[in-house]
Amino acid sequence: MAIKDIPLRERIILALDVDSPEKAKELVRRTESHLGYYKVGLQLFMAGWFDTVDWLVARGHKVMLDLKFFDIPETVKLAVAQIRNHGVSLATIHGNDAIIRAALTEKGDLQLLAVTVLTSFGEEDLRAMGMTQSIEDLVYYRAKRALELGCDGVVSSGLEAGRLRDGLGDKLLLVTPGIRPGANVMDETDDQTRVMTAGRAIANGADHVVVGRPIAKAADPIAVIAAMQRDIELSLR
């Protein structure tokens, strides 16, 4: 696996999961000495529309706009056109073929990530639909398809990152949520669950990790960020 030339301050994407642009900006001011990439999701976007997005871009930060567009292809295409001109770096759409094709026609410089399978969707949901494959196989197939169609990458758990990176190559952009604090990527006692440390996720093939509460709710957010960045650096050696 080739190590990509991604600045350390952009490896962690901090999720601004707060209910107002004011609170989001406060969180950015507290962390921007160490970070340069922020995620705006549905909650914050509903509270302030492009207010925080435009403010972040004007401050020189990168923005992941995580609105997971899911509608008829024409509507998704027009929605992508709306966000393209705001300087957003990364946006999320659902990974159906027609949606991806439509979104790509308006993407410009924007990088598009396909949602493969929501983590709230479980094996029992698959069985209820009469499907026999595993969630992991479905994630892999949908990621492969998204990439073939021209998507830049996918959002995936750290556990799936390894298989996706090995199977789909370096070009794939992999963004991984479900990160918890902790250091030392070499700690073999780290058991396999859907959450993992930032370093472990990067070692498994993630390009970026999305982190929310572990940083936002910490008494000392900078200390948590610095520890995660050390962990990431170690994993890249």
Active site residues: 68
Long-range contacts of range 79-83, CB-CB < 8 Å, 24 or more positions apart? 80/106, 80/107, 80/110, 80/112, 81/106, 83/110
> For residue 50, which of 81, 73, 83, 96 has the smallest C-alpha distance?
83
- How far apart CA 42 and CA 157 sit, in angstroms, is 20
Task: Pick the closer one to ligand C5P by CB: 73 or 212.
Answer: 212
CB of 237 to ligand C5P, least distance (A): 25
**Which two three-digit tokens encode residue 179?**
């990160």
The binding site for ligand C5P (CB under 6 A) comprises: 15, 17, 41, 119, 155, 177-179, 210-214
CB of 197 to ligand C5P, least distance (A): 12
**Which two three-digit tokens encode residue 180?**
């918890």
Q: Which residue is nearest to ligand C5P (CB)?
A: 212
CB of 30 to ligand C5P, least distance (A): 16
Task: Pick the closer one to ligand C5P by CB: 16 or 76.
Answer: 16
Task: Pick the closer one to ligand C5P by CB: 117 or 172.
Answer: 117
**Which two three-digit tokens encode residue 218?**
């910490």
